[in-house]
Amino acid sequence: MCIVAQLMQNHTVERLEDDLFKIKSDQTELLGTLDMLCCIWELEHGEYDCDCRGKTVLDVGGFQGESAVFFSSRGATRIIIYEPVVEHHKFIRKNVALNRINAEIHDAGIGVRDEVQTICYDKTSAGFGCVPGRHERQIKIRNIADVIRESGANIAKIDCEGAEECLVDVPTEVLRQIEFYMIGVHTPKIKKELVQKFKESGFILTKNIDKNEQIALVFFKRAHIS
């Protein structure tokens, strides 16, 4: 619970049930689990920090809505959320309403095509699907190229436990419809592939944060092509 103690320096944190918390600051109010509190702490310590003023943000891997609230508090005018775990949607809807966010919520993950995938998992936590488990469920997948085309987004945050690899197959002209990407990569192999893909597509790698030997955050800005 050390994360709670740290958050209480700038927030009011109330435990409502065993794994249900309410957290409030001068700007925001959210409901969610301890996992969500950990995500808030990471967001407030530089994860996915960007200038969102007047922008539309595509938020893939919306979890419980904390990143949508974060982007909105930094000036985003519209958030398009993709989250395939239905248990998280009650929190997303609540947090979007509490903070009066202009949001579009989709019950889906991303991939190279529209389909339904069977995911093996242990818990519907922030890392859902990253490590195979003893439970199975089917989730809806949307073609990431179509998601980008339809979004009209200026900024994309993509954190989807390995599914980010599908960006490698997105045509360059589609990828360039978004000017700034913030991507959580979950293996060195995926990171290498995405860095190459984005550089070939006319993007500049502006930031790389290695969280551990496997996971990193990479930020790409679209360069002008004359």
Is residue 119 assigned to a domain? yes
The pLDDT of residue 137 is 87
Residue 43 has pLDDT above 80, yes or no: yes
From 29-43, 69-83, 112-126, 196-210, the region with the lowest mean pLDDT = 112-126
Per the structure, how many domains does the chain have? 1
The helix/strand/coil state of 79 is strand
Determine the structural domain holding residue 90 and report its residue range.
50-222
Is residue 112 assigned to a domain? yes
pLDDT digits (tens, 9 = 90+) for 71-81: 999 999 999 99
pLDDT digits (tens, 9 = 90+) for 141-185: 999 999 999 999 999 999 998 899 999 999 999 999 999 999 999
Is residue 41 assigned to a domain? no
Is residue 193 assigned to a domain? yes
Residue 226 has pLDDT above 60, yes or no: no
The pLDDT of residue 161 is 82
Is residue 17 assigned to a domain? no
The pLDDT of residue 3 is 80
Average pLDDT, the chain: 92
Q: What is the CATH number of the domain that holds 158?
A: 3.40.50.150
| Confidence tier at 1 by pLDDT (50, 70, 90) | low
The pLDDT of residue 47 is 86
For the record, the structure tokens of 70 come out as 């974060």
Q: Whose CA is closest to 130, among 177, 63, 222, 202?
A: 63
Average pLDDT rounded to a whole number, residues 65-69: 97
Quick one: 26 exposed, middle or buried, by C-beta within 10 A (0-12, 13-18, 19+)?
exposed
Higher pLDDT pick, 166 / 3: 166
Quick one: 150 exposed, middle or buried, by C-beta within 10 A (0-12, 13-18, 19+)?
middle
Phi/psi for 110 (5° steps) reads: -125, 155
Is residue 136 assigned to a domain? yes
| Confidence tier at 10 by pLDDT (50, 70, 90) | confident
Is residue 31 assigned to a domain? no
Phi/psi for 207 (5° steps) reads: -155, 140
Is residue 13 assigned to a domain? no
The helix/strand/coil state of 168 is helix
